[in-house]
Amino acid sequence: MSLINENFLELQDSYLFSTIAKKVAKFTEENPNKKVIRLGIGDVTKPIVPACLEAMHKAVDEVGTQSGFRGYGPEQGYEFLRKAIVENDYKSRGIEITEDEVFVSDGAKCDCGNIVDIFAKENKVAITDPVYPVYLDTNVMSGRSGKYNKEKETYENIVYLPVMAENDFKPELPKEKVDMIYLCFPNNPTGTVLTKEELKKWVDYAKENQSIILYDAAYEAFITESHIPHSIYEVEGAKEVAIEFKSYSKTAGFTGIRCGYVVIPKEVKGFTKGREEVSYNKLWNRRTCTKFNGVSYITQRAAEATYSEEGKKQIQENINSYLENAKIIKQGLEEVGFTTYGGVNSPYVWLQIPKGMTSWEFFDKLLEEVNVVGTPGSGFGPHGEGYFRLTAFGTKENTIEAMKRIKKLKN
Ligand code: MLT
């Protein structure tokens, strides 16, 4: 008889975006003539830029020749890409990261989820609330959450750090000692940011408490304000306590191509029960070699091309146009009296929904009355209740149309 991993039974419902997809599929089946506009999941709509396409075509031709054929690549990523990452994403910002501290992967979602492998089950985990569900669910799966409390809608062993209008969406330091802290800035789902000084408090906390910050910077390319850090390593001391996740999904439209990376500086250390120091970089390298065979050569060449002069320019144009959508959403909502957050350094606009309604009720109202899909705030955690997320990753035409429709919502 095989026994199951009972931690999975502690998971609540299905994965948020699958639930939404199911609801939308049911609605479209029942209303085949209605044109639904999807501003729910943060999936991009702009095609891959020419610089990346060209690099992929070239790589395809290359692997079709005897001399250019590539079998298994290095599990951690090809040197050419790790070098480009170090140069463009770190050195250019005055951050010293070495190539062997970079691990190329098939995306930040997988990295954020898989990273739990190298941490002990006993670690106390802190997450912001609301939060990108992957951080929480993967800790539930790996047995760190304890039991779910239905009334409170929280897990007994997870420390929740509320982010809401009342604290300007800036999480407060935990009152108790925690070992693993998930931070995502620009934030998913609220679209808000932290300054370097605000982030410094977290780095200091982590140093004092020998905790690790798991920093998701998947949306850094959308930062428009110059004082907002693009990497946690811009903060002094962060290299000792932070692991950083980056993604080409939103930056370069690779949600379907799949590529990202995680940075684990060698100074980031954990401890054995006997208090012996161990480098997380070493553990992750070992895990990667065992469980992963690397990202395809063709994909990594595409990722490398995002750093070429042409690539940078083309990608920036796409990002600007998504940011333009964010502006359209924000303005459109504010014109009809919604209070909004985010959308300035982020492709996400977080809005306060009318009082007396749950965020799932607002989801249904939006879908049924004006055929627009968004993401209910409570899907990201209990403090997301009362809020709703719209993504700027739609086409401009759909974004404008969605705003026109939302203005017609009945009170
Ligand atoms: C989101 O909508 O929050 C993201 O697209 C999900 C993801 O990146 O996995």
**Strand partners for 372:** 37
Ligand 1, atom nearest to 189 Cα: 3
- The residue whose CA is least distant from atom 5 of ligand 1 is 42
pTM given for the model = 0.96
Out of 15, 38, 112, 132, mutate this one to test ligand 1's pocket (max ligand atoms within 8 Å of CB): namely 132
The pLDDT mean for the chain works out to 97
CB atoms within 10 A of CB 105: 24
Residue 382 three-state SS? helix
- The residue whose CA is least distant from atom 1 of ligand 1 is 42
| Domain range summary for the chain, segments of one domain joined by + | 6-47+310-406, 53-308
DSSP class of residue 130 equals S
| pLDDT tens, residue order, the chain (411 aa) | 999 999 999 999 778 888 899 999 999 999 999 999 999 999 999 999 999 999 999 999 999 999 999 999 999 999 999 999 999 999 999 999 999 999 999 999 999 999 999 999 999 999 999 999 999 999 999 999 999 999 999 999 999 999 999 999 999 999 999 999 999 999 999 999 999 999 999 999 999 999 999 999 999 999 999 999 999 999 999 999 999 999 999 999 999 999 999 999 999 999 999 999 999 999 999 999 999 999 999 999 999 999 999 999 999 999 999 999 999 999 999 999 999 999 999 999 999 999 999 999 999 999 999 999 999 999 999 999 999 999 999 999 999 999 999 999 877
Cβ-proximal residues to 138 (8 Å cutoff; 6+ apart), any chain: 112, 113, 114, 116
Cis peptide before 382 (omega within 30 of 0): no
pLDDT in tens, 78-87: 999 999 999 9
Q: How far is the CA of 249 from the centre of ligand 1 (A)?
A: 9
Q: How far apart are CA 85 and CA 91, in angstroms?
A: 9
Q: How far apart are CA 54 and CA 48, in angstroms?
A: 10
DSSP class of residue 378 equals G
Q: How far apart are CA 277 and CA 284, in angstroms?
A: 15
Cis peptide before 186 (omega within 30 of 0): yes
Q: Which fold has domain 6-47+310-406?
A: Aspartate Aminotransferase, domain 1 (3.90.1150)
pLDDT in tens, 175-226: 999 999 999 999 999 999 999 999 999 999 999 999 999 999 999 999 999 9
Q: Under CATH, to which class is 53-308 assigned?
A: alpha beta
Out of 16, 17, 249, mutate this one to test ligand 1's pocket (max ligand atoms within 8 Å of CB): namely 17
Residue 80: phi and psi, rounded to 5, are -60, -35
Q: How far is the CA of 134 from the centre of ligand 1 (A)?
A: 9
Checking phi first, is residue 367 left (phi over 0); if not, alpha (psi -120 to 50) or beta?
alpha
Out of 43, 106, 110, 373, mutate this one to test ligand 1's pocket (max ligand atoms within 8 Å of CB): namely 43
DSSP 183-251: EESS-TTT-----HHHHHHHHHHHHHHT-EEEEE-TTGGG--STTS-SSGGGSTTGGGTEEEEEESHHH
CA–CA distance from 68 to each of 13, 56, 59, 342 (Å)? 47, 13, 8, 46
- Which residues' Cβ are closer than 6 Å to ligand 1? 41-43, 109, 132, 188
Checking phi first, is residue 44 left (phi over 0); if not, alpha (psi -120 to 50) or beta?
beta
CA–CA distance from 354 to each of 189, 236, 336, 363 (Å)? 18, 42, 12, 12
